[in-house]
Amino acid sequence: MGSFIASKEEDYSKWYLDIVQEAKLVDYSPVKGCMIIMPYGYAIWERIRSILDNKFKETGHENAYFPLLIPYEFLEREQEHVEGFSPELAVVTTAGGEKLSEPLVIRPTSETIIWNMYSKWIKSYRDLPIKINQWANIVRWEKRTRPFLRTTEFLWQEGHTAHETVEEAESETLFILNLYKKFVEDYLAIPVFHGKKSEKEKFAGAVCTYTIEALMQDKKALQAGTSHYLGLNFAKAFDVKFQNKKGEMEYVSATSWGVSTRLIGALIMVHSDNKGLILPPKIAPIELIVVPIFKRDDEVNKRILEYATTILNRLKKEKFRVEIDKDTKNSPGFRFSSAELKGIPIRIEIGSNDILMDCVTIARRDKDKNSKYQVAVRELSSRVRNELESMQSDLFNKALEFRNLNTKEIFGAEKDSYNTFKTYINEHLGFVLSSWCGSEVCEESIKNDTKATIRCIPEDFKNKPLDNLTCIYCNTEAKHLVLFAKSY
Amino acid sequence: MGSFIASKEEDYSKWYLDIVQEAKLVDYSPVKGCMIIMPYGYAIWERIRSILDNKFKETGHENAYFPLLIPYEFLEREQEHVEGFSPELAVVTTAGGEKLSEPLVIRPTSETIIWNMYSKWIKSYRDLPIKINQWANIVRWEKRTRPFLRTTEFLWQEGHTAHETVEEAESETLFILNLYKKFVEDYLAIPVFHGKKSEKEKFAGAVCTYTIEALMQDKKALQAGTSHYLGLNFAKAFDVKFQNKKGEMEYVSATSWGVSTRLIGALIMVHSDNKGLILPPKIAPIELIVVPIFKRDDEVNKRILEYATTILNRLKKEKFRVEIDKDTKNSPGFRFSSAELKGIPIRIEIGSNDILMDCVTIARRDKDKNSKYQVAVRELSSRVRNELESMQSDLFNKALEFRNLNTKEIFGAEKDSYNTFKTYINEHLGFVLSSWCGSEVCEESIKNDTKATIRCIPEDFKNKPLDNLTCIYCNTEAKHLVLFAKSY
């Protein structure tokens, strides 16, 4: 099992591709760039979806479903939007045996079709706010694809809200940004920087885009979710006005926001190792696996299986997501490796010695094999509960420590600082917190020199004083502290 | 509210369209034949999905996700399949700014893309069975569409299973048929006939198709779900062989099965009335609505709202799906009508008199307004629980009685029976149980004469003796008892 996985130290990219296939998360489809999400991969997505779905609903959002196909003309109504998306469109030209008079595109995102409907639904302030979310498939024709990280078709949720005031829309944008940050940190155990994108990096059609940015183990950044403040752009494009409390007609303010199956890619790249997946307990489809250690004696094995099944049922009753491995053909070593490959947080081994002592042996996926230990059955569920909790926080802390170790401050005020910046970002990678004048020319020049982009203007360093700092590139007065990184 | 809905006695078709719009279940989209499923309609679909999803998982099925786009060439590999589906395909010919060398179709169903993958995944009997389900969107370019019942894009689940033996696949087909029947009867409160389709009516590519058939209030039948035994057809088309226990290579046996958002159409058409939706409690997104009856005195209203909120919270705590209507602008009559339009099973009215007596007044959606009555608060949750249960079974029994009243036996042995059959099916509609020789010519002739089709060879009448019966059309020896009906 583990032996089919490349070493991440030697070939991180192959290691990633090996894991997604060997752990049976995805398979490649005959349609270039599209993936099949296999049952185990889909089970992770179902966990993500059900947790987020609850959070959206608890905070006043409702689900709905809008059509897959959008008239091309709708996209053209918002200039930046159509420029951003038209190179990536899949276009339906024939349907029901006839050529269509107007081409339809498969949604690359749904702002246009949704705002077309909002123009019908919104007449008065009484119709606001509208806070709709949709779980859907999306198609963007990408040149270079990689499972979960960038695929031609992917699954996501997209929220689309409409508000009376600019302030309310801005506050919704930030509310969702924080909801995403908390979800990714608390459940996926991935620390993220959150902040605003630069003008150049924002969503096509947004006034501004907020993002959460994570650091992978190869020290490249990954955009894990975005929340856009759309201002009046789509209201103007689709002429969506409402009568306000004073009886005047006003344009409606908008937001949109989304996370996708890409989160599964982040999950793998932040925590996993050369033995396979490591899944944070809160997101793992299976938290515990019971592995009875069989002998060459059928009668003994029957006893062992009975004992293991009793323990399984007890854990099920306590609402753990638990499974049993009844494989009698393969060696314990092989079976342990299988459970490790799948990233199951805790393995519960049950051998005949354990039974004699009314014990089981528990092994945590994120610790080395010498750290496994025996636990009395009567203490099992409380011990397991504690271990799951510590594993969740240990994974987060480990990722946070790694991220912090690889976040370097290099400011424009220092002597020869741009050379230091370039050397660091090329040789070491990671995040570089730097000072920037705000000009797109400097941003573009840095990208050309280093392939690094501005990931965001981070909220974390908002209160850090800018005095005397100059732009890392042009040395004029700095306007923002920004995070640079090479990214996926 | 109710006044915008046409009378179902006068114009059943308009009544249906009025309900789906007035109750805000769907709206029409700018793309012909595609619907927007609005939050309340989507909430019904979420109930259907979560209940079925649990049932699939409890019985060993797993979810996965396969690509939206399928190479056209895949469909061509199964002759009947491509003939059946190609008139309805939406075709992507351009993507990423370039003309595709091979056109891709938007899935009209996923047998071909899934069996293409199964050819990679299945090598040995050890890989079997595979029991995968997918929740997805589907596009079929339909000429005449109607919300939920027949739309260009719809949502569904499609199960695709692979088995070692023909027997195992046949048994899976029937297992799912029965699961569908039980779900539709127990949750949607819709009685169904279940049985096999005729050759002419089966799924394109199946060996045989089983169906569940319901009767709407206009006495037209509706196919509510299908389960197909595919035999070796797709295994042969995609060359999917496995090594059996004896070491020989064999083709894999297959099933597929699905239900869609069409079920919501059935739900509306079976139970609802001229005031709007009537939803069976088990499927209703909201089971109970608390309606405080406000006065013209703010202080009094504050007390009433407090009291109502206490009751709301108590019911929430007991896991009822309950909401409160805090509208102070509109009259109680208007607010009652709104709740009726939405089909909420039980309305809990709270007026100042109720509060004085520590009571509330409960009204069931399926009973007339004189039947509402006061209940002491301490008895509320048990009374409500009982009422929800009786309403669920009352709705089923009412629909069953209607279905049975409108299921007529007219057999070929009787004198002048084909004339009787034609008159009945044209003037009365409903199901007609009749005798049939099995010939497609007779089936076709009956369809031409009456527009009625064979809905199924019902399991319910399997043990009824056929002796001396002749075909209703040609009067030769009858081979099957079949149900005819005009249908959606």
**Considering the domain boundaries, does residue A426 fall inside one?**
yes
Q: Which chain B residues have a beta carbon less than 8 Å from that of A66?
A: 29, 36
Same domain, A250 and A355: no
HSE toward the beta carbon, residue B50, CA cutoff 13 A = 12
Residue B186: exposure state from Cβ atoms within 10 A (0-12, 13-18, ≥19): middle
Same domain, A361 and A433: no
At A2 the pLDDT is: 45
**Considering the domain boundaries, does residue A279 fall inside one?**
no
Check which CATH number belongs to the domain holding A474 and give it: 3.30.110.30
A-B contacts at Cβ under 8 angstroms: 156
The helix (run of H) or strand (run of E) holding residue B269 is: helix B262-271
Of B29, B42, B97, nearest to A67 by CB-CB distance is B29
Task: State whether A106 and B92 contact (CB < 8 Å).
Answer: yes
ipTM confidence: 0.96
A54 touches chain B (CB under 8 A): no
- Over 50: is that where the pLDDT of A427 sits? yes
At A467 the pLDDT is: 83
In sequence order, what E strands does A118-220 have?
130-139, 153-163, 193-196, 208-215
At B32 the pLDDT is: 86
Distance CA B17, CA B147 (A): 8
Q: Which chain A residues have a beta carbon less than 8 Å from that of B74?
A: 30
Of B66, B68, B96, nearest to A141 by CB-CB distance is B96
* Distance (Å) from the alpha carbon of B253 to chain A's nearest alpha carbon: 21
Backbone angles phi, psi at A303, to 5 degrees: -60, -45
Q: How far is CA A360 from CA A306, A308, A324, A337, B159, in A?
A: 14, 9, 14, 19, 39
Task: State whether A29 and B67 contact (CB < 8 Å).
Answer: yes
Tokens of A193: 């920087």
Same domain, B248 and B296: no
Strands A193-196 and A130-139 come out as unpaired
Which of B92, B152, B329, B342 should one mutate to test binding to chain A, selecting the residue with the greatest count of A CBs within 10 A? B92
**Considering the domain boundaries, does residue B198 fall inside one?**
yes
Where does A187-257 have alpha helices with state H?
Answer: 233-237
**Considering the domain boundaries, does residue B402 fall inside one?**
no
**Considering the domain boundaries, does residue B6 fall inside one?**
no
Same domain, B198 and B347: no
Task: State whether A94 and B95 contact (CB < 8 Å).
Answer: no
Same domain, B72 and B179: yes
Angle formed at CA A146 by CA A145 and CA A147, multiple of 5 degrees: 125
Q: Which residue of chain B is at minimal alpha-carbon distance from A142?
A: B96
Backbone angles phi, psi at B6, to 5 degrees: -60, 155
Residue of A79, A141, A62 lying closest to A107 (CA atoms): A141
Mean pLDDT, rounded, for A281-299:
96
Of B64, B89, B92, nearest to A38 by CB-CB distance is B64
At B2 the pLDDT is: 45
The helix (run of H) or strand (run of E) holding residue B470 is: none
The helix (run of H) or strand (run of E) holding residue A279 is: none
Q: Which residue of chain A is at minimal alpha-carbon distance from B261?
A: A65
CA A427 to chain centre: 26
Out of B217, B237, B271, a domain closes at: B271
* Distance (Å) from the alpha carbon of B38 to chain A's nearest alpha carbon: 5
Same domain, B102 and B127: yes
Task: State whether A31 and B91 contact (CB < 8 Å).
Answer: no
Residue of B25, B34, B18 lying closest to B152 (CA atoms): B34
Of A31, A96, A155, nearest to B71 by CB-CB distance is A31
On whether the CB atoms of residues A136 and A110 are closer than 8 A, the answer is yes
Q: Which chain A residues have a beta carbon less than 8 Å from that of B71?
A: 30-31
**Considering the domain boundaries, does residue A338 fall inside one?**
yes
Distance, first Cα to last Cα, chain B = 28
Q: Which chain A residues have a beta carbon less than 8 Å from that of B38?
A: 64
What range does the domain containing B238 cover? 12-271
Same domain, B454 and B337: no
Q: Which chain B residues have a beta carbon less than 8 Å from that of A29?
A: 66-67, 113, 117
Residues 63 through 122 of chain A touching chain B, CB cutoff 8 Å: 63-71, 74, 86-97, 103-104, 106, 113, 116-117, 120-121
Task: State whether A95 and B141 contact (CB < 8 Å).
Answer: yes
A3 confidence band (pLDDT: 50, 70, 90): low
Same domain, A332 and A219: no
Residue of A129, A123, A132, A206 lying closest to A168 (CA atoms): A129
Helix axes A12-22, A262-271, angle to 10 degrees: 110
Helix, coil or strand: residue B98: strand
Task: State whether B31 and A64 contact (CB < 8 Å).
Answer: no
Out of B330, B355, B385, a domain closes at: B385
In tens, the pLDDT along A399-414 reads 999 999 999 999 987 7
In tens, the pLDDT along B229-272 reads 999 999 999 999 999 999 999 999 999 999 999 999 999 999 99
- Over 90: is that where the pLDDT of A369 sits? no
Q: How far is CA B6 from CA A379, A420, B9, B16, B222, in A?
A: 65, 76, 9, 8, 22
Which of B36, B57, B89 should one mutate to test binding to chain A, selecting the residue with the greatest count of A CBs within 10 A? B36
Check which CATH number belongs to the domain holding B130 and give it: 3.30.930.10
* Distance (Å) from the alpha carbon of A157 to chain B's nearest alpha carbon: 14
Same domain, A220 and A350: no
Which of B28, B31, B105, B157 should one mutate to test binding to chain A, selecting the residue with the greatest count of A CBs within 10 A? B31
Tokens of B386: 């009982």
Same domain, B106 and B221: yes
Dihedral of CA atoms B470, B472, B473, B474 in degrees, nearest 10, equals 10
In sequence order, what E strands does B327-469 have?
346-350, 359-364, 373-376, 407-409, 431-436, 453-458
Same domain, A339 and A422: no
Residue B479: exposure state from Cβ atoms within 10 A (0-12, 13-18, ≥19): middle
Which of A63, A65, A74 should one mutate to test binding to chain B, selecting the residue with the greatest count of B CBs within 10 A? A65
The total domain count for chain B is 3
**Considering the domain boundaries, does residue B110 fall inside one?**
yes
Distance CA A348, CA A330 (A): 17
pLDDT means per 10 residues, chain B with 488 residues, are 80 97 96 95 98 98 98 94 94 95 96 97 97 98 94 98 98 98 98 97 96 98 98 97 97 98 98 97 98 93 95 97 96 96 98 93 94 96 98 98 97 87 95 96 97 97 87 94 97
- Over 60: is that where the pLDDT of A243 sits? yes
DSSP assigned state of B135: E
Q: Which residue of chain A is at minimal alpha-carbon distance from B102?
A: A31
Out of A318, A351, A385, a domain closes at: A385
B60 touches chain A (CB under 8 A): no
In tens, the pLDDT along A451-465 reads 999 999 999 988 888
**β partners of residue B63:** B133
Distance CA B72, CA A34 (A): 16
In tens, the pLDDT along A183-240 reads 999 999 999 999 999 999 999 999 999 999 999 999 999 999 999 999 999 999 999 9
* DSSP letter string, A363-382: EETTS-GGG-EEEEGGGHHH
Check which CATH number belongs to the domain holding B347 and give it: 3.40.50.800
DSSP assigned state of A360: E
pTM: 0.97
At B412 the pLDDT is: 87
Output b/e per residue, A384-419; b: 16+ Cβ within 10 A: beebbeebbebbbebbeebbeebbbebbbeeeebbe
**Considering the domain boundaries, does residue A400 fall inside one?**
no
Same domain, A357 and A451: no
**Position of tokens 């004029």?**
A476
Tokens of B456: 């199924």
